[in-house]
Structures are given as C-alpha cells and as structure tokens.
Amino acid sequence: MATVLPPPSKRQKTAAAAKAREPVTAPTPPPEASVRVQFRDSDTNASQGPVVSVSLADLRPNNLSLLLNSLLGRTDPSERLPYRFLNPLGDGEFSQEKVIQAYLDGVATTELQLDIPCRAEAVFKVKAVTRCSASISGHGEAILATAFSLATSSRLATGSGDKTARIWDCETGTPVHTLKGHTGWVLAVAWSPDDGILATGSMDNTVRLWDPVKGTPLGGALKGHTKWITSISWEPYHLREPGRPRLASASKDYTIRVWDAVSQHTDMALTGHKGNVSCVKWGGAGLIYSASHDRTVKIWDSKSGTLVQTLNAHAHWVNHLALSTDFVLRTGFYDYKGKSTVPETTEGKRKKAKERYDAATAGAGGIERLVTASDDCTMYLWEPSRSTKPLQRMVGHQKQVNHVTFSPDGALIASAGFDNHIKLWSASDGKFLSTLRGHVAPVYQCAFSPDCRLLVSASKDTTLKAWDVRTGTLKENLPGHEDEVFAVDWAPDGERVGSGGQDKAVKIWRN
C-alpha cells in the first residue's frame, strides 16, 4: 500500500481558495500604436540616422540596438556596435515599460517624435575580476604605487618602501626585475606611452629611468628636486618630438620639473606654487596641469614653461586631478587589442595616438575636461580652455576626497573619499549619479576597467571591491590583503587588476 499524503493544512487550503477566487487577468498587451523615433547621441545631441517609425511593442533595447546599427549602415554582424539607450522621458536607463506607461498616461503622444539618447559602448567587454590569481611576495616593505605596462597586462611595475621598484610577470606570478638604485621609498611609477621606459620617483628627491625589458637603469638619477617626488606624468605620444621623450615630475619642494629622458637634463622648472605639488598631469593639448596644497590648480605651457592659467576655487589642499583624456594619453597608440594593432612606423604611431586623442575629446567638442579633488570635501569640474570659472561644483562627500578618475570614454567621474564611499558623477555636467557604499574604511584609490562598465576600489579596510558602474551595485568583494591596500591599477587590456599595500604582497586579480 502506498503512503497517503497528509491532507492539506488549513493555511494551504485558504491560500488555494484565495488564489482560485482571484480573477485571472492576462497582462495588458502593449497598445498597437507606433511611434516615430529619432536616435540622438547623448553627449553631442546630434541625430543618428533618419527618423523611423517603430511600434511600441518592439521598443526593446536589443531591437533598438539592431535597428540603429542597420540605420547607420552596419549590416554585417561583425561591424555592429553595442549601444546603451537612455530614458527619453526622464533620467536613467531606457525601459519599454516606462515608455508605454507614459503613452498610456498621456504624458507623451504618438504624434510627436521620440528622441532616444544613445551612446556607443566599447566593443569589447571586460569581465569582473573575481579571484586572486597570484599573491607574490618579494618586496620587503609596503607597496606604495603600481602601474601596468601598456602593451600587455603580463607586466606590472610596483614601487615600494624597501627602496626598490620591481617588475612582475603576471602570467606566472614571478618577479622579472628588481630595480635597485633609489635610496628612499619609491612613491611613484609611470610607464612611458610607448612602453619603452619606466620612470620612478622617490623619497630621495630623484627620478630614475629604467629599461623595463632588460631591467637596467637608463643613466643615473635625475637630480634637481629638493624634496620628495609625489607624482610623475609622461608627455603624450602624439606631442612628443621624435626621439626626445619628456616627463614631468611634481615634488614636495613646490616645483614641477620637466625632464628630457634622453639627455637626462631638466628641460624646465615650473615654479609658482606656494605649497606641496600633489599631482601633475600632462594634457593632450600641450598643457601641463598641476594641483597643489596651496589650494590652486595651475596650467603651464609645455613648450615655453610659462604659466597659462591659475584656477582658484578650492578652499583647502587640492589632492588629485584627472583629465577626461587620461586613459588615451596614458595608453597612446595601444588600443584594447594590445600589441597586435600597433603601427610599425613612428609616424603611424603618432597618427594613431593623435586619432585616439581626437576621438576621446570629440564628445566634449574637442577640449579636455579637468576634475580636481580636494580636502574641502568637494570637487570641481573645469573646462580650462573655455573659461577659468568651474563648470560645476560637485558636493556630497562628507570627508576629504583623495582620488578622482575619469572613465576611459570620458563619460563618468568616480571619486573616492575618506568617508568610506565612492561617488559616481556624470562627466558632461558634473551631476551626481550614485554612491557606492560598502567599504568600512577610507577608500584610497579606484580604477575603471577599460570598457567603463566596472570600477575597482582599494581601501584601508584591506579589501578591494569591484563595482558595476551602470547599476551602482557591488559586483565582487575581493578580500585577501592582510592590511590596507595603497595602490590599485586595472590593466589597459582589461585582463587583470594589480594591487599592493601595507602587507608587502603584490596581488594579481582576474576573472
């Protein structure tokens, strides 16, 4: 005899009865109407393709993406670009329900044309890092700076408190070269945009140049500063005179020095700041931007070394600054495909670097934007070539803002503050978008993935966290460091994330 199931309990019976009483309604079908759609670029507001008539039932993002691609003549599947559509009737993402609801409510009518803002996204997709693929010990002291090589994510350079910089092979998780020579902590590392020279700045007031392939020093120390080096920036590839790469170094001694990397002499010394120069960036239009603890941001001409502008707005130290073109200037002629698409001749390389720079600034009308982060808990967005007045004051952080970065496509700004939060801002107008909460201690640095869809942040609370930028949610929590994390970098090809901190181990993260 088979086991008889127990009779349903009273609760189950009442629930079933209630369900049976409920009238079954089919989901309301979308109205039959069709609407005339015009796609517009969300940055420039330029129309994309002709006006087309689409029925409301078909207004789904993937359909729209296909339609827009075919309107722009990209019929071959391999040529299609992924598009992101924004809500035409308000803020946020495009959604079919919202649009249909607007028509049902009478907010919109089918007699007017619907302008859908769209933005082309990166054709490649970076996967979120999820695991630590290598934890490499070797440094004898805390790691203070990291930077990935531009050509390949298999080379990572780190600067440490043990007075050396090291180059690591991330494929195998082994050290390649130890760059000895400094007599103080190595505070800054930077790869030149053609990947041929590594520059390190140190507590011992000097900058040194290294051959990253052989691991040998290129000449001696670049002496001139009288206090330690805080930041290094290379001249963008398309501006460089052939065979004469230059770099700018900012120092605690209130000056910025521009060095000729070949002759190893100071080209210019840019004096004028009245406080520690915290950050220097070499812009793509031949200008050098510097942020200082004297509350000003100064802009210098890289040819003559004269002061072009002084931007006064901050009320306290300026800690960091970022350019909308940072990513393309850093990577120069290397795109996401790495070494395979590098032009052979110098002229070709320059041309490609220039093209990439022009493409990056096209959205903002051909000019660079600048964002500065300060101890007064605010940030300012500037368009220095248009005006000395800030475009927008960005408030919201509760404590000092330590780090700020533009997304590689120049559409977003992420700021990391000592109030444990990261905030995302729209780069076109400086509007606040979202707050990424999750860290329990000050966030020191953050880095965008090259496709702009992800962000990784390093914090004092010993973790890294990977965030989904579009939704503003935590994608991956990456514990593993045993002490605070000082430096993080996402490789330009998107494969790996490298981090280092107080616990002396370099960690390589990947998906």
Contacting residues toward other proteins, per CB under 8 A: 141-142, 144-145, 160-162, 185, 187-188, 228-231, 252, 276, 278, 293, 319-320, 402-403, 439-441, 444, 459-463, 477, 479-483, 486-487, 502-503
Q: Least distance to other proteins from the beta carbon of 311, Å?
A: 20
- The strand pairing partners of 263, in sequence order, are none
359/441 with CB nearer other proteins: 441
C-alpha distances out from residue 444 to 65, 265, 453, Å: 38, 33, 20
412/487 with CB nearer other proteins: 487
CB atoms within 10 A of CB 362: 13
Residue 263: is it exposed, middle or buried by C-beta count within 10 angstroms (0-12/13-18/19+)? Answer: exposed
Q: Least distance to other proteins from the beta carbon of 86, Å?
A: 34
Answer yes or no: are the C-beta atoms of 221 and 186 closer than 8 Å.
no
15/441 with CB nearer other proteins: 441
Side-chain half-sphere of 486: how many Cα atoms within 13 Å? 21
421/439 with CB nearer other proteins: 439
Question: What torsion do the CA atoms of 207, 209, 212, 215 make, to the nearest 10 degrees?
Answer: -100
Q: Least distance to other proteins from the beta carbon of 328, Å?
A: 24
C-alpha distances out from residue 408 to 342, 357, 411, Å: 19, 11, 8
Listed in sequence order, the DSSP H helices in 59-140 are 61-71, 96-105
For residue 16, what is the enclosing H or E element?
helix 10-21
Exposure string for 216-230, b = 16+ CB within 10 A, e = fewer: eebeebbebbeebbb
Q: Least distance to other proteins from the beta carbon of 78, Å?
A: 42
369/403 with CB nearer other proteins: 403
Instruction: Tokens for 340, please give them.
Output: 């395979």
465/510 with CB nearer other proteins: 465
Q: Least distance to other proteins from the beta carbon of 128, Å?
A: 17
85/282 with CB nearer other proteins: 282
292/309 with CB nearer other proteins: 292
Answer yes or no: are the C-beta atoms of 90 and 382 closer than 8 Å.
no
194/375 with CB nearer other proteins: 375
For residue 86, what is the enclosing H or E element?
none
Q: Least distance to other proteins from the beta carbon of 480, Å?
A: 7
Instruction: Tokens for 64, please give them.
Output: 């729209």
Answer yes or no: are the C-beta atoms of 270 and 254 closer than 8 Å.
no
Answer yes or no: are the C-beta atoms of 400 and 319 closer than 8 Å.
yes
Q: Least distance to other proteins from the beta carbon of 441, Å?
A: 6
Q: Least distance to other proteins from the beta carbon of 465, Å?
A: 8
Q: Least distance to other proteins from the beta carbon of 315, Å?
A: 16
**Cα–Cα distance measured from residue 92 to residue 130, given in angstroms and rounded to the nearest whole number:** 27
**DSSP letter at 58?**
G
3-class SS of residue 155: strand
Q: Least distance to other proteins from the beta carbon of 483, Å?
A: 6
**Cα–Cα distance measured from residue 161 to residue 412, given in angstroms and rounded to the nearest whole number:** 33
Sequence-distant (≥ 6) Cβ neighbours of residue 228 within 8 angstroms:
184, 187, 201, 202, 203, 204, 205, 251, 252
Q: Least distance to other proteins from the beta carbon of 438, Å?
A: 9
327/444 with CB nearer other proteins: 444
67/506 with CB nearer other proteins: 506
Phi, psi of 15 (to 5 degrees): -65, -40
Q: Least distance to other proteins from the beta carbon of 246, Å?
A: 21
317/334 with CB nearer other proteins: 317
CA 21 distance to own-chain centroid: 55
DSSP E strand boundaries for 316-442 = 318-323, 370-374, 378-382, 392-395, 401-406, 412-417, 422-426, 432-436
Listed in sequence order, the DSSP H helices in 268-399 are 326-331, 346-362
